[in-house]
Structure 1
Amino acid sequence: MAAPIKIFHNPDCGTSRNTLALIRNTGQEPEIIEYLKNPPTAEVLADMIQQAGLSVHEAIRQNVTPYETLQLAERDLSDAELIALMVQHPLLINRPFVVTERGVKLCRPSELVLDLLTQPQLKAFRKEDGELVINEHGQRVN
């Protein structure tokens, strides 16, 4: 049996909703972690960032109020300090992170999740904005 899929999800985010829909499009149901309500621990977050091959700065959302209010651009903080702030203010965590047996990715754009899934049978899929991701033959577009 395949390891469970986890998505660190924000239901108010279109990219996160599209990523979740793409996972479900393969017939799989992930474990959904609404990270704004249940943020990961500092250790889990640091591990996901490292496994995704990102820097901590690449995993921080910079266009949100906590980033500006805390003046993070002007501060010289360590990775550990930044991760602690991300856990304290989960809106700072870029999303969605997806964890599968094939690895961890920050799925922006949402179709990056397809690289993490093992289900070969893909059904036609369009994003919420109408962009075609998988055609009627089950093939990725792009």
Structure 2
Amino acid sequence: MSQPIKIYHNPACGTSRNTLAMIRNSGQEPVIIEYLKTPPSREELIGLIQDSGLSVRDAMRKNVEPYDTLKLEESHWTDEELISSMLKNPILINRPFVVTELGTRLCRPSEVVLDILPTPQLSEFIKEDGEVIVDKKLNKI
């Protein structure tokens, strides 16, 4: 039996909602972790970042408070300190991270998820903004 798909999700985020919808459009119901309510542990967060091939800075949201207030753009912060800031302020964790048996990705843009889904899209997929991602013939656009 294959491992369940996990999505670290923020329902207020359009990219996260589109990613979740593409997972469901592949016939899968993922484990949904609303990371703002249930933040990952330090080990989970480090694993997500390492497994996705990102740097700690690449896994951070920079356009939200408290990024500027904490002056996290300054280069003196170590990865461990940045991870601690992300754990104290989960809004700083970029999203959505998706984990499947084929890998871990930060799905920005949302269609990155198609690269790690173990099953194909079952029908046409159009993002919330009207962008066609999978056409009626099930071709990725």
Shift, 1:120, TM fit: 2.8
Q: TM-score, normalised by structure 1?
A: 0.96
After TM superposition, which residue ranges in structure 1, 4 or more long, deviate above 4 angstroms? none
Matched, 1:107 2:110: no
Shift, 1:75, TM fit: 5.3
Which amino acid in structure 2 is aligned with residue 45 of structure 1? L
Would you say how many aligned residue pairs link Structure 1 and Structure 2?
141
SS in 1 for 2:47: helix
Which amino acid in structure 1 is aligned with residue 17 of structure 2? R
Which amino acid in structure 2 is aligned with residue 40 of structure 1? P
Q: 1:22 to 1:74 in 2, by over 3 A?
A: same
SS in 2 for 1:87: helix
SS in 1 for 2:73: helix
SS in 2 for 1:68: coil
Task: Write 1 or 2 for the structure with the bigger share of helix.
Answer: 1
CA distance in 2 between partners of 1:95 and 1:121 (Å): 21
Q: TM-score, normalised by structure 2?
A: 0.97
Does structure 1 conserve the Cα–Cα contact (< 8 Å) formed by 2:10 and 2:34? yes
Q: 1:30 to 1:107 in 2, by over 3 A?
A: same
Which amino acid in structure 2 is aligned with residue 70 of structure 1? L
Does structure 1 conserve the Cα–Cα contact (< 8 Å) formed by 2:121 and 2:134? no
Does structure 2 conserve the Cα–Cα contact (< 8 Å) formed by 1:122 and 1:139? no
Which amino acid in structure 1 is aligned with residue 101 of structure 2? E
Which amino acid in structure 2 is aligned with residue 136 of structure 1? K
- Residue in 2 that maps onto 1:94: 94
CA distance in 2 between partners of 1:41 and 1:76 (Å): 24
Q: How far does the alpha carbon of each residue in 1:1-36 deviate from its partner, in whole angstroms, 9 at most, with x for none?
A: 221000000000000000000000011000000000
- Residue in 2 that maps onto 1:64: 64
Structure 1 spans left out of the alignment, 5+ residues? none
RMSD: 0.9
* More divergent stretch after superposition (12-21 vs 120-129): 120-129
CA distance in 2 between partners of 1:69 and 1:121 (Å): 42
